[in-house]
């Protein structure tokens, strides 16, 4: 009796760990899919400047203030701000103050502007949009700023036309073979004609031939016709 209980307990433990590992693998498998889905709804500027996980609650450097330098300040020499003296390159990389705030130069020297960041907790991001879908499907002009503040303009992929092309290829490519196969099946099933068994044997034999074998003669035909 004790052995039976021990075997059942061991079996339940194995089932638990098996299910736990399978669930963990499914979750890990879904993380990239979730990231791609969230990214598709984020503004283009945010996509190129931060990861998709930033839509979840997290700590990040939030812009708290901006500092504009006077024209009298020599940006080629040491610059003193908030009691800290550093070069342009150091300010551009960002300098953390004693109170935890971070000051970073914005853009190039000509902007003469620095941004003060404060590290805070940020909740769920609601800055989601369908603009990416409209731009890509409609082939519209997309304008956004990258992490360096440069304005980039490009044309969407016009997936709407690609979808129509796919439908124009897949619908006839599906319906026509099914109709031909249905006609042939009716003939072989209900009609008796000379050579019926030989043709049926040839068709079944051709089903065994891999489709990739047809790629070579098809490519030769394309070359022959200059396509």
Task: Return the beta strands (E) in the chain as ranges.
Answer: 58-68, 79-81, 84-86, 95-96, 102-105, 113-122, 141-145, 151-155
Cα 150 from chain centre: 23
Whole-prediction pTM: 0.47
- In this structure, what token pair is assigned to residue 57? 């609650």
What span, in angstroms and rounded, lies between the C-alpha atoms of 183 and 227? Answer: 32
Residue 217: the pLDDT is: 86
Query: Number of folded domains in the chain?
Result: 3
The closest alpha carbon to 102, from 74, 82, 121, belongs to: 82
| Residues 62 and 9 placed together within one structural domain of the fold | no
In a shared domain, residues 75 and 23: no
Range of the domain at 212: 159-224
152 within domain boundaries: no
pLDDT in tens, the chain (227 residues): 555 667 777 778 888 888 999 999 999 999 999 998 988 888 877 777 778 888 888 787 778 888 888 888 888 888 888 878 888 888 888 888 878 788 888 888 888 888 888 888 877 777 788 887 877 777 667 676 665 667 777 776 677 777 888 889 899 989 998 999 899 889 888 888 888 889 889 988 888 888 888 888 888 888 888 75
- Residue 145 in any domain: the answer is no
């Amino acid at each position: 009796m004790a052995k039976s209980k021990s075997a059942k307990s061991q079996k339940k433990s194995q089932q638990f760990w098996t299910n736990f590992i399978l669930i963990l693998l499914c979750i890990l498998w879904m993380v990239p899919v979730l990231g791609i889905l969230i990214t598709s709804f984020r503004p283009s500027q945010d996509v190129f400047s931060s990861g998709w996980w930033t839509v979840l609650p997290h700590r990040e450097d939030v812009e708290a203030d901006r500092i504009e330098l006077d024209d009298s300040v020599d940006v080629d020499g040491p610059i003193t701000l908030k009691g800290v003296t550093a070069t342009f390159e150091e300010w551009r990389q960002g300098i953390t103050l004693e109170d935890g705030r971070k000051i970073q130069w914005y853009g190039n020297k000509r902007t003469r502007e620095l941004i003060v960041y404060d590290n805070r907790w940020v909740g769920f991001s609601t800055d989601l949009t369908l603009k990416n879908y409209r731009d890509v499907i409609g082939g519209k002009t997309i304008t956004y700023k990258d992490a360096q503040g440069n304005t980039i303009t490009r044309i969407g992929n016009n997936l709407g036309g690609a979808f129509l092309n796919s439908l124009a290829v897949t619908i006839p490519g599906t319906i026509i073979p099914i109709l031909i196969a249905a006609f042939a099946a009716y003939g072989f099933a209900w009609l008796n004609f000379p050579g019926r068994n030989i043709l049926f044997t040839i068709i079944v034999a051709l089903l065994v031939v891999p489709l990739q074998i047809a790629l070579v003669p098809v490519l030769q035909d394309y070359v022959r016709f200059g396509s």
